[in-house]
A and B are shown apart, each in its own frame.
Chain A
């Protein structure tokens, strides 16, 4: 992620590309790895030092990962079984309360409302990002050199824009009185929009948030799509065209099968990124109006540190991590399957 965040990003948007690239390297590297190890050492089996070397090299990375990623994860789980509010925090009390935080959440209507909203929010975003990104990628492939450069510049700037800066700009674009969006809609003849308060209702707030996310995410998909398209041999298109295939048929029978791994991997990456998107949702209206745009990460944050119910917040966080875990498991299955196929 990201990046951006975020990108990138925070998360950062480049991770996907790196992942795609490295699948290929590892597969290719696998073939090279057959080179006998003996060449690195003279006669006899590898010495103790040689056998330990990789573990020593991995030691720092392992230690910091355990300490700075593993420990917070474990701490989240531990706190989710505690009754930890402002009072306990100040007095440094540890009050275990079993599954109370979980039963409280799982029987709580708001939790399920937020979960359903997060799922719908993710689906809409990812659908728009994937369809939009693919279409822009196809367009890039079809344009002439100059127009392609022009569009690439626009995409690149949107992609590079830091999420916090983009959020601030969108707030300004959608400002009630002096926002350029309201002025434009008014000019188009939609006069009731002249002083429209975009963050006044749930749907209009979501509209701004989704536009912000889709705008920032399409470039990644489009560039990857374009890069993928350039790898499809021209002969395939020609053969399909000779067989009388139209544009739609070419997409379903040539482009989609060739780029299926790309579609699957990117879709899951986008699902994971959007599902845990925090900055955009929080910075536009902090889950408002009336908590109606809270998604799971924002909900966990506001319950946990906003309302100082750390145990409750941690339980929501764990439930969110579990849902993400399912998504990530699917993602890894796709990636690993590809690695075997290659």
Chain B
């Protein structure tokens, strides 16, 4: 190779700079949460606090109704994802394996629904929930979160189902299974990883949702994103506690994401290649 030392070094230098750029906000969030108060309100930032403290986490966890928000967030997210998983499995089996009139239309609707402008539909959702006297309740929130993750779930499961060789199913039916039995006994077990990662992505989406809960549940039934966004206002400028709260909120997602990344993307591309 004729490349000079500089030619070989500069990509690495840029990579390090970019690494710092992308990771710094995450690092700063976690590190601030562990800092002593005096190091937070210091005109010279402390980049590596050696005397870490858990005080800010205590403040965040002992904040009024914290556990209620945690429970709400988990309830809404888990129920929404489970319902959408059931509905999506049925639908994605039909579009991955069956031929019928209107199939293409349905696929297009799913694609469009994936990009539904929920951000500007909040007014209508608010009015609908209000007319049914369901403001500050977890029911509409669960229903709409279910709808938010449903198109993506159908979409992804479709490629996972398509990735299961058709011959497996057919040979099960030759051996005397009905189509339903073939699905339950052959496809479903093979689908487990797909169901797993799809539902975890649904979980992340619903867990992070903000505009809808902002408008629907002002006094009750609040979730963690809403709590976090108002944390600063409620706690003055207690940056330590705010960052501890952010860390607690982001941690499950960060862990899931790192764990999922390779698997899910691998699964998707496998599905694409094997078709």
Q: A residues within 8 Å of B by Cβ?
A: 1-12, 14-15, 17-22, 24-29, 31-33, 35, 37, 39-40, 51, 53-55, 57-58, 60-62, 64-65, 68-69, 71-73, 75-76, 79, 89, 136, 139, 142-144, 147-148, 150-151, 153-173, 175, 177-178, 180, 183, 215, 218-219, 223, 227, 272, 276-279, 282-283, 296-297, 300-301, 304-305, 310, 313-314, 316-317, 320-321, 324, 328, 331-332, 335
Chain B residue with minimal CB distance to A314? B123
Residues B108 and A57 in contact, CB atoms below 8 Å apart = no
**B122's contact among A89, A156, A171, A305, by CB below 8 Å, is which?**
A305
A177–B45 alpha-carbon span in the complex (Å)? 11
**Contact residues in B for A57 (Cβ distance below 8 Å):** 90-91, 93-94, 98
Task: Name the residue among B29, B144, B274 with the largest chain A CB count within 10 angstroms.
Answer: B29
**A332's contact among B103, B111, B121, B204, by CB below 8 Å, is which?**
B111
**B123's contact among A79, A279, A328, by CB below 8 Å, is which?**
A79
Residues B250 and A162 in contact, CB atoms below 8 Å apart = yes
Please classify how large the interface on chain B is, using the bins under 10, 10 to 19, 20 to 34, 35 or more: 35 or more
**Contact residues in B for A180 (Cβ distance below 8 Å):** 28, 45
* Contact A151-B15, Cβ < 8 Å, known A165-B250, A183-B43: yes
Known: A139-B15, A178-B43. 16 other contacts (CB 8 A): A5-B208, A6-B208, A10-B209, A17-B268, A18-B159, A25-B272, A40-B170, A61-B90, A154-B22, A154-B23, A161-B254, A162-B250, A168-B242, A169-B25, A180-B28, A180-B45
Task: Name the residue among B86, B93, B109, B253 with the largest chain A CB count within 10 angstroms.
Answer: B253
**B208's contact among A143, A144, A163, A304, by CB below 8 Å, is which?**
A163
Residues A72 and B121 in contact, CB atoms below 8 Å apart = yes
Residues B40 and A178 in contact, CB atoms below 8 Å apart = yes
Binds A, one of B55-63, B64-72, B184-192, B258-266: B258-266
Residues A29 and B96 in contact, CB atoms below 8 Å apart = yes
Chain A residue with minimal CB distance to B211? A278
A335–B261 alpha-carbon span in the complex (Å)? 24
By secondary structure, the B interface counts as helix
In whole Å, how far is A321's beta carbon from the nearest beta carbon of chain B? 5
Residues B115 and A53 in contact, CB atoms below 8 Å apart = no
**Contact residues in B for A2 (Cβ distance below 8 Å):** 205, 208
**Contact residues in B for A65 (Cβ distance below 8 Å):** 109, 113, 147, 150
**Contact residues in B for A320 (Cβ distance below 8 Å):** 117, 120
* Contact A76-B257, Cβ < 8 Å, known A25-B159, A143-B12: no
Residues B249 and A297 in contact, CB atoms below 8 Å apart = no
Q: B residues within 8 Å of A by Cβ?
A: 11-12, 14-16, 18-23, 25-26, 28-29, 32, 40-45, 86-88, 90-91, 93-96, 98-100, 103, 106-109, 111-117, 119-128, 130, 143-144, 146-147, 150, 152, 154-156, 158-159, 162-163, 166, 170, 173, 179, 201, 204-205, 207-211, 214-215, 225, 228-229, 231-232, 237, 239, 242-243, 246-247, 249-250, 253-254, 256-258, 261, 264-265, 268-269, 271-275
Residues B208 and A73 in contact, CB atoms below 8 Å apart = no
A116–B46 alpha-carbon span in the complex (Å)? 42
**Contact residues in A for B19 (Cβ distance below 8 Å):** 150-151, 153-154
**Which 6 residue pairs spanning A and B have beta carbons closest together?**
A28-B275, A160-B257, A154-B22, A68-B147, A57-B94, A75-B124
Residues A173 and B25 in contact, CB atoms below 8 Å apart = yes
Residues A317 and B121 in contact, CB atoms below 8 Å apart = yes
**Contact residues in B for A6 (Cβ distance below 8 Å):** 205, 208-209
Chain A residue with minimal CB distance to B130? A89
Chain A residue with minimal CB distance to B245? A168
Chain B residue with minimal CB distance to A27? B275
* Contact A75-B208, Cβ < 8 Å, known A18-B268, A283-B229: no
**A19's contact among B40, B155, B225, B254, by CB below 8 Å, is which?**
B155
